[in-house]
Amino acid sequence: MVLKSSFSVLIVATLAVFSSYTPVAEAHSWADCIDWKFNNPKKQDWTDKGGKCIGYARRFPLGLPFGSLDSQYPNRHYQQDRSNPRMALPCSNFKDGSTRGSDETRARPTSAAYNGKWGRMTTTTVGDTLCVRWPAKNHAKIGGSVPTTVFIHMSPVRNGKDITQAMLLKNTIAKLQYTNCIPDANEDRRACGGCFKVPKRAPGTYLMQWRWELNPGEFYTSCADVKIKPKK
C-alpha cells in the first residue's frame, strides 16, 4: 500500500509540473532605433558596444535593456489588422481594441513625443544615411530563417497630420532584410538593422514608418517623426 501510495503521489506531482509548463512564445519586433550611429562606420555592429542611438520612434522609453519592450506595459510591437492591412492604422493609438502596442500617434506639438523620458527625434538632411535597428525576437535564426522584409515608408507631406497606410504604401523609400543581424547566442535579443538614404524632401518634419512583414499579410509597424534640415 505504501508503494502504491508513493507511486500515486509521483504521478500527481509529474502531472502538476506538466500542467504548469507554459511554452515560450515568440514575440514580435519593432524599431528600436531610427538613427543608429556606428562607432566604426566600416563595421556594421548593431550591438550596444558597436554604436549608439541618437534618434528614436515616437514616445520611445529610455534606459531599458535592448529587446525588452515586449515584456513592458504597454509593449512596443503593434500588429496591424490582418483582415485589411492596407487600410489599418499606420501607427498604434493604444485605444483600438485590435491594437497592441504603445501610443505612436502624432503629438501636438510634434516635439511632445520626444525628449525628457522619451528618446530624441531624428534630425537629418536629404541624401544622408539613416540606419535603423531592431531586435530579432527569435525571428532571425542564423542559417535557419527565410529572410523577411522591412519596408521603410516616408510621408511626402511635411509638418502635417499622418497620412493613411494606403498613401504610405505609395511612398516606399527602402526595403531592408530583416535577418541582417549580428550573430549572437541569444536569438531573442539578437541585434539587427539596415541603412538607407534620406530621399528628396523639402525642409520640414515627416512621418517615417518602419513596417515589417513577418508572414504574408502580417505586418508590424513603428512610427517616427524625422526632421529634415536644409543642407548647409
User: For residue 72, what is its C-alpha cell?
Assistant: 513592458
49-53, 65-69, 226-230: which range is least confident on average? 65-69
**Extents of the domains making up the chain:** 24-228
Rg of the chain (C-alpha set):
21
Mean predicted confidence (pLDDT) in 163-177:
97
Q: Which of 27, 34, 12, 10 is nearest to 128 (CA)?
A: 34
Phi, psi dihedrals of residue 88, rounded to the nearest 5°: -70, 165
pLDDT of residue 11: 40
Q: Is the pLDDT of residue 93 over 50?
A: yes
92-106, 116-130, 162-176: which range is least confident on average? 92-106
- Better pLDDT: 53 or 185: 53
Give percent of the chain with pLDDT exceeding 90. Answer: 66
Between CA 39 and CA 220 the distance in angstroms is 29
pLDDT of residue 143: 61
Give percent of the chain with pLDDT exceeding 70. Answer: 84
Could you give the C-alpha distances from 191 to 47, 109, 138, 164, 194, in angstroms and in order? 6, 32, 11, 30, 11
Element (H, E) at 11: helix 2-20
Mean predicted confidence (pLDDT) in 96-102:
70
Task: Name the pTM for this structure.
Answer: 0.86
Q: How would residue 99 be classed by pLDDT, with cut points 50, 70 and 90?
A: low
Mean predicted confidence (pLDDT) in 118-128:
97
Q: Is the pLDDT of residue 139 over 50?
A: yes
pLDDT of residue 208: 98
Q: Is the pLDDT of residue 8 over 90?
A: no
- Could you please state the CATH topology (level 3) that the domain comprising 24-228 is classified under: Coagulation Factor XIII; Chain A, domain 1 (2.70.50)
The sign of the dihedral angle between the CA atoms of 221, 115, 154, 149 is: negative
User: How high does pLDDT run on average in the chain?
Assistant: 86
pLDDT of residue 183: 86
Q: How would residue 21 be classed by pLDDT, with cut points 50, 70 and 90?
A: very low
Single-letter amino acid, residue 129: T
Q: How would residue 98 be classed by pLDDT, with cut points 50, 70 and 90?
A: low
